[in-house]
Structure 1
Amino acid sequence: MKFLNSVRAGLFLTVALIAGPLAALELKETPGLDPSLPPVAERVPSDPLIVDLEAKGRTVGKPGGKIDTLIGRAKDVRLINVWGYARLVGYNEQLELVPDILANVDVEDGRIFTLHTRAGHKWSDGHPFGAEDFRYFFEDIVSNESLTPSGLPPYLLANGKGPKFEVLDETTVRFTWDSPNPLFLPELAKSRPPFIYRPAHYLKQFHEKYGDPDVIAKEAAKVKARDWAPLHNKKDDMYNAQNVDMPSLQPWVRNRDDSDLRFVLERNPYYHRVDSTGQQLPYVDEIIMTVADGKLIPAKAQAGESNLQARNLNFADITVLKKGEKDNDYVTALWSNTKGAEISILPNLTVKDPVWRELMRNTKFRHALSLGIDRNLLNRVLFFGLGTPGNDTVLASSPLYKAEFTTKWAEYDPEQANALLDEIGLTKRNGNGIRLMSDGRPLEIIVETAGEEQVQDDALELVKEMWKEIGVALFAKPSQRDNMRERAITGDLLMSVWSGFENGIPTSEMPPEDFAPVRGDAFSWHKWGDYFETQGEGGEKPDWAPAERLMELYTAWLSSRTPEERTEIWEEMLQIHADETIHIGLVSGVRQPVVIKNVENVPLEGIYGWDPGAHFGIHRMDEFYMAK
């Protein structure tokens, strides 16, 4: 069974991505490339990924030019490996998982994955890419205790066991698990994927099994590494774009190390995609990333200093950006933010204080807090009425969406909120009208904020006034994200404000990890997530029925075989969240401004998110081109 058809019928050959023989195309050389390079027919795979732009409603571009963009810190240069979004398999704009770097994937019984690379595909330095690069990763990196002391990562485990790995030929490898592993393919499509292949020809020189010991010792001394393993780990840089010698399969590659304020990313002359007229992608020669103060980036974008900008822009910048469009010849597109909520208040269900813990886990208490918030007012005041008031859940563009997930227990009803608080015994009040808890303390909720988003602080000020009407006091406490995480670990964090679920547009094929207590970095249930991640060595075993059921469902998803099974699991998990109000979401669907200046094929309507989405990646930045 072809994996695309096993996911959803009809996805193998889409109208926009055609894997076809090279002989069908008359390839064209890209102007301005180094003349010493081999001809294009020798640089691209013999079966490249052929992009039919007209079928996607886009125009065939012209090669050349550069895109200037601004980043708030030097390490954001790594975003080039996010925006480029060349993945073994990746999501298209319909959220379908399709082959990209791979020519195809065969999936049998949900547990046998045969990966086919493209014959003739090459790394950015011209060296062949194929089965050996997968073998090197699996056998010499992730299975090597010196390089990976923690053992195989979760996506390579099924029911706790690793796979059998085989090289079938120069372009084909197979992973076989005893049990289904639905986590495997979605992991490969992430914004920061695991890169289960490595440029073996480059990295072997730093590996004790293959490299010259004297050379390794000299290279280790240069970077002050104590032996070969930390040296190898430092050189093995597929994501961060710090090692300019590291070959890549992405559309743009960092080849220079001459500045930490202005980064020049150059086109990969061996990139595997071509358009239907025979032009090799990417169209744009260079991406220039310039570091600027994050607070000044909106003003700089308004002044026309960026060709393509979304990073460090938010909803509050839209008005000023719109004002500058005419004078500085750009357009401000408004894409849909894919988070489950723009702002979400997160009760800590594993808080240390026993009285607060009992309250936080009381469903009626969370319902009362949710019913005590006028989300329509918040939407009008903070977002000009352009968002969608409601819970922190999946958005309408997700195939898993149901209207009740957004609206349940999210209507403004202070009368019912008061009744619920009375019902659970919070009937006594102090002289200020604030309810008293069972131990006599006033019901004063400290909500911690990272201080990174002014709109979160503004929202808490409004919620504070609303909750006062139901006898609940709210005190916003400015903090920092690292401090908040530390307080979640110690159990001292009572409640926090953050953005909502990262992926508000999931399909059933995407893992529901954000909706179950399986991550220790979650403010809602750190101790349960830590218990899962450490396999019981840390944290606390879930002892709250809804959390226990969410864990059971997540575990069932990890061993599921069919899309139908996974859909049922997702729907029950989303229903539990709607019924329990685990997160108190406020408003979703808030727009993300995207400044576009002199760049074509950038959609005016799009989605903006991390996973899935990769910011510009899902819209295929390699297809953007300069208008002039």
Structure 2
Amino acid sequence: MMFLKSVRAGLFLAAAMMTGPLVALELKETPGLDASLPPVAERVPSEPLVVDLEAKGRETGRHGGTLDTLIGRAKDVRLINVWGYARLVGYNESLDLVPDILQDIEVEDGRIFTLHTRQGHKWSDGHPFGAEDFRYYFEDVVSNEELTPAGLPPFLLSNGQKPKFEVLDETTVRFTWADPNPLFLPELAKSRPPFIYRPSHYLKQFHEKYGDPDIIAKEAEKVKARGWAPLHNKKDDMYNAQNVDIPSLQPWVRNRADSDLRFILERNPYYHRVDSTGQQLPYIDEIVMTVADGKLIPAKTQAGESDLQARNLSFADVTVLKKGEKQNDYVTALWSNSKGSEISLLPNLTVKDPVWRELLRDTRFRHALSLGIDRTLINRVLFFGLGRPANDMVLPASPLYKAEYATKWAEYDPEKANALLDEIGLTERNGEGIRLMPDGRALEIIVETAGEDQTHDDALELVTEMWREIGIKLFAKPSQRDNMRERAITGELLMSVWWGFENGIPTSEMPPEDYAPVHGDRFAWPAWGDYYETGGEGGEKPDWEPAVRLMELYKTWLVSREPEERRAIWDEMLQIHANQTIHIGLVSGVPQPVVIKDVENVPLEGIYGWDPGAHFGIHRMDEFYMAE
């Protein structure tokens, strides 16, 4: 049974962390809440998720306080729904999938998923949450062509087929596919999940099937929507935190729309988690997000203007942040960055130029480029030696990690690099000592950079000198992210510098989508990714054997039934990447600074990433509390 073992194990862990029978738990009222609210026993589910903080090595917290943090743009208020990380199932710090909002989940044959919600669970406005909210999403939102013209998203399809959806009772629903669907549960645990449930009691008033036509028309006119469907889509905002009226299941909720520069997120009085002493989570009353110029956030953080900050901070800020610790009474923790590499050079294997295309697809050429880079020097110069000279690959924290993945073809050996380039036939040089390509052009590689990270530009300066030793000239070309993506799609982009694989700590239960050519926005193979995403209507069909095999393996993973099968698929995919050096990673494991001021239960060592991780989410921000 796929996933059943991991989900059941997670549920057992949660149960093991409880202190005694649930009926013996005495729930405590949260100070400062609106007196008109029902008592806590009526606000939380009859079986809330009980967390034993002592078993996790943390302290039982206290209610109250406001946590101030800085964001670089107004739309980053949506991060409250990332950091809160209330998910149907979510990752714990061991990267296991465990029930969270759900009471339980049963998986049969990798294709039948029965979801059990918690009896008495309520939305942030006090209305019941349950099976009807799942039904509304599946039947009235994602299956409605006017609301979702693209049809069901990929995670709700298996072999292109829709599931059978059933409501079994008020707290139980079932999704049944004809074939296995291992994509389903990991999708629910993402930083930006699909929210396969909706507050039906709220959204029905804007749906043509349930709402009053006159009211819908008036509401549409208010927001300049052209009909009920655009109106519904505006109101249906589970992630961006723009609609202050929509109920939520997250620990903090935006209830006011009084500012675009300072956002106040208030505790959800109906949140489903409690600690083992009976206190309802979250501990912190309010999260205040203040918009500031992203370039000024490190200085503002150093000045003590943020209680918890990682967003808009990078390793380059560590020295400045450390200097302010004593004066402003904060700690700069260094968490492990979960990216496969802090800096990665990405040859575009689908570049339009036929000479470059043949050269970049020659494994010997990519090996030579990799061998011509002194990663130890880059690590020492840019990161004080605190990173790891390594490929863009899975990290030691991943159960899929093998040491050879990190080091294969990653040693500094310019002599061997030169020999490989000679073997290819690139033996002719111009007056500057730069090798000539088969068509007589100088071997000059234009590497485009978005200018979003100064260390990327600094690294290119170092690589420029190193590659000159093997007869290759590097030109760094400043660009912008959108322009780079456009040039990649049209085949004009030759090579780019970017961050490495977003998920450097995968388990075999996570989809290997970053490691296969299945997304058109990846700089290493945009045309192949576009071909996959459009079902062959766009892009190019892969015609390079390693890419063909990676796509085959990804498709096999999508219909796999057992963890052992998925592990074998992952192992082969990672071996292909190690052998082929598709990404030329430079340094991995570069720490992410996390500034902590007057906030307790924040780990000094942690994982910082998007998926999995949700920044603070995997460490359960609802368990953080403010110091007295």
TM over 0.5: yes
Please report how far the alpha carbon of residue 17 of structure 1 lies from its aligned counterpart in structure 2 after TM superposition: 5.1
Q: In structure 1, how many angstroms separate the alpha carbons of the residues matched to 2:10 and 2:71? A: 39
SS in 2 for 1:341: coil
Please report how far the alpha carbon of residue 598 of structure 1 lies from its aligned counterpart in structure 2 after TM superposition: 0.3
Q: Which amino acid aligns with 2:226?
A: R
SS in 2 for 1:90: strand
**Residues 212-255 of structure 1 deviation map (CA, whole Å, 9 limit, x = unaligned):** 00001001111111100010000000000000001000000000
Equivalent residue runs for 1:419-430 within 5 Å: 419-430=419-430
In the alignment, what sits opposite 1:173? Answer: 173
Q: Would the alpha carbon gap of residues 2 and 14 (structure 1) be closer, same or farther in structure 2, given more than 3 Å must change?
A: farther
SS in 2 for 1:12: helix
SS in 2 for 1:102: coil
In the alignment, what sits opposite 2:364? Answer: 364
Q: Would the alpha carbon gap of residues 438 and 8 (structure 1) be closer, same or farther in structure 2, given more than 3 Å must change?
A: farther
In the alignment, what sits opposite 2:292? Answer: 292
Q: In structure 1, how many angstroms separate the alpha carbons of the residues matched to 2:16 and 2:84? A: 17
Q: In structure 1, how many angstroms separate the alpha carbons of the residues matched to 2:433 and 2:8? A: 56
In the alignment, what sits opposite 2:373? Answer: 373
Q: Which amino acid aligns with 1:80?
A: I
In the alignment, what sits opposite 1:308? Answer: 308
Please report how far the alpha carbon of residue 24 of structure 1 lies from its aligned counterpart in structure 2 after TM superposition: 2.2
Q: Which amino acid aligns with 2:146?
A: S
**Residues 330-374 of structure 1 deviation map (CA, whole Å, 9 limit, x = unaligned):** 000000000000000000000000000000100000000000000
Name segments (4+ residues, structure 1) moved above 6 Å: none
In the alignment, what sits opposite 1:190? Answer: 190
Q: In structure 1, how many angstroms separate the alpha carbons of the residues matched to 2:296 and 2:3? A: 46
In the alignment, what sits opposite 1:274? Answer: 274
Tell whether the 8 Å contact from 2:130 to 2:172 is kept in structure 1 after alignment.
Answer: yes
Matched, 1:573 2:573: yes
SS in 1 for 2:587: strand
In the alignment, what sits opposite 1:601? Answer: 601
In the alignment, what sits opposite 1:345? Answer: 345
SS in 1 for 2:476: strand
SS in 1 for 2:470: coil
Equivalent residue runs for 1:381-420 within 5 Å: 381-420=381-420
In the alignment, what sits opposite 1:549? Answer: 549
Q: In structure 1, how many angstroms separate the alpha carbons of the residues matched to 2:489 and 2:24? A: 59
In the alignment, what sits opposite 2:52? Answer: 52
Q: In structure 2, how many angstroms separate the alpha carbons of the residues matched to 1:422 and 1:237? A: 57
Tell whether the 8 Å contact from 1:86 to 1:101 is kept in structure 2 after alignment.
Answer: yes
Tell whether the 8 Å contact from 1:20 to 1:48 is kept in structure 2 after alignment.
Answer: no
TM-score, normalised to structure 2, is: 0.99
Q: Would the alpha carbon gap of residues 3 and 552 (structure 1) be closer, same or farther in structure 2, given more than 3 Å must change?
A: closer
Gaps in structure 1 of 5+ consecutive residues: none
The CA RMSD over aligned residues, in Å, is 1.2
In the alignment, what sits opposite 1:124? Answer: 124
Q: In structure 2, how many angstroms separate the alpha carbons of the residues matched to 1:8 and 1:416? A: 51
Gaps in structure 2 of 5+ consecutive residues: none
In the alignment, what sits opposite 2:64? Answer: 64
In the alignment, what sits opposite 1:323? Answer: 323
In the alignment, what sits opposite 1:260? Answer: 260
Q: Would the alpha carbon gap of residues 226 and 16 (structure 1) be closer, same or farther in structure 2, given more than 3 Å must change?
A: farther
Q: In structure 2, how many angstroms separate the alpha carbons of the residues matched to 1:503 and 1:212? A: 46
**Residues 450-474 of structure 1 deviation map (CA, whole Å, 9 limit, x = unaligned):** 0010000000000000000000000
Matched, 1:23 2:44: no
SS in 1 for 2:425: coil
Q: In structure 2, how many angstroms separate the alpha carbons of the residues matched to 1:588 and 1:357? A: 28
SS in 1 for 2:12: coil
Q: Which amino acid aligns with 1:122?
A: K
Tell whether the 8 Å contact from 2:2 to 2:561 is kept in structure 1 after alignment.
Answer: no
Q: Which amino acid aligns with 1:365?
A: F
Please report how far the alpha carbon of residue 5 of structure 1 lies from its aligned counterpart in structure 2 after TM superposition: 1.7
TM-score, normalised to structure 1, is: 0.99
SS in 2 for 1:529: helix
Matched, 1:100 2:82: no
In the alignment, what sits opposite 1:148? Answer: 148
Q: Would the alpha carbon gap of residues 2 and 161 (structure 1) be closer, same or farther in structure 2, given more than 3 Å must change?
A: closer
In the alignment, what sits opposite 1:441? Answer: 441
Q: Which amino acid aligns with 1:243?
A: N
Please report how far the alpha carbon of residue 13 of structure 1 lies from its aligned counterpart in structure 2 after TM superposition: 2.7
Q: Which amino acid aligns with 2:311?
A: R
Tell whether the 8 Å contact from 1:16 to 1:55 is kept in structure 2 after alignment.
Answer: no
Q: Which amino acid aligns with 1:231?
A: L
In the alignment, what sits opposite 1:235? Answer: 235
Tell whether the 8 Å contact from 2:446 to 2:494 is kept in structure 1 after alignment.
Answer: yes
Q: In structure 1, how many angstroms separate the alpha carbons of the residues matched to 2:502 and 2:548? A: 22
Q: Would the alpha carbon gap of residues 200 and 20 (structure 1) be closer, same or farther in structure 2, given more than 3 Å must change?
A: farther
Tell whether the 8 Å contact from 2:6 to 2:96 is kept in structure 1 after alignment.
Answer: no
Tell whether the 8 Å contact from 1:7 to 1:563 is kept in structure 2 after alignment.
Answer: no
SS in 2 for 1:174: strand
Q: In structure 1, how many angstroms separate the alpha carbons of the residues matched to 2:21 and 2:131? A: 21
Q: In structure 2, how many angstroms separate the alpha carbons of the residues matched to 1:548 and 1:378? A: 33
Matched, 1:563 2:566: no
Please report how far the alpha carbon of residue 23 of structure 1 lies from its aligned counterpart in structure 2 after TM superposition: 2.1
Tell whether the 8 Å contact from 2:464 to 2:474 is kept in structure 1 after alignment.
Answer: yes
Please report how far the alpha carbon of residue 130 of structure 1 lies from its aligned counterpart in structure 2 after TM superposition: 0.1
Tell whether the 8 Å contact from 2:65 to 2:284 is kept in structure 1 after alignment.
Answer: yes
**Residues 527-557 of structure 1 deviation map (CA, whole Å, 9 limit, x = unaligned):** 0000000000100000000000000100010
Q: Which amino acid aligns with 1:230?
A: P
Q: In structure 2, how many angstroms separate the alpha carbons of the residues matched to 1:172 and 1:544? A: 46
Tell whether the 8 Å contact from 2:4 to 2:108 is kept in structure 1 after alignment.
Answer: no
Q: Which amino acid aligns with 1:352?
A: K
In the alignment, what sits opposite 2:73? Answer: 73
Q: Which amino acid aligns with 1:56?
A: K
Q: Which amino acid aligns with 1:503?
A: N
Q: Would the alpha carbon gap of residues 609 and 32 (structure 1) be closer, same or farther in structure 2, given more than 3 Å must change?
A: same
Tell whether the 8 Å contact from 1:20 to 1:50 is kept in structure 2 after alignment.
Answer: no
In the alignment, what sits opposite 1:615? Answer: 615
Q: In structure 1, how many angstroms separate the alpha carbons of the residues matched to 2:9 and 2:601? A: 28
SS in 1 for 2:129: coil
In the alignment, what sits opposite 1:251? Answer: 251
Tell whether the 8 Å contact from 1:4 to 1:98 is kept in structure 2 after alignment.
Answer: no
Please report how far the alpha carbon of residue 16 of structure 1 lies from its aligned counterpart in structure 2 after TM superposition: 7.0
Matched, 1:201 2:201: yes
In the alignment, what sits opposite 1:473? Answer: 473
**Residues 303-331 of structure 1 deviation map (CA, whole Å, 9 limit, x = unaligned):** 11100000000001111111111110000
Q: In structure 2, how many angstroms separate the alpha carbons of the residues matched to 1:448 and 1:355? A: 19
Please report how far the alpha carbon of residue 501 of structure 1 lies from its aligned counterpart in structure 2 after TM superposition: 0.1
Equivalent residue runs for 1:446-595 within 5 Å: 446-595=446-595
Q: Which amino acid aligns with 1:150?
A: A
**Residues 469-499 of structure 1 deviation map (CA, whole Å, 9 limit, x = unaligned):** 0000000000000000000111000000000
In the alignment, what sits opposite 2:336? Answer: 336
Q: Which amino acid aligns with 1:198?
A: R
Tell whether the 8 Å contact from 1:600 to 1:626 is kept in structure 2 after alignment.
Answer: yes
Q: In structure 1, how many angstroms separate the alpha carbons of the residues matched to 2:486 and 2:398? A: 33
Please report how far the alpha carbon of residue 403 of structure 1 lies from its aligned counterpart in structure 2 after TM superposition: 0.3
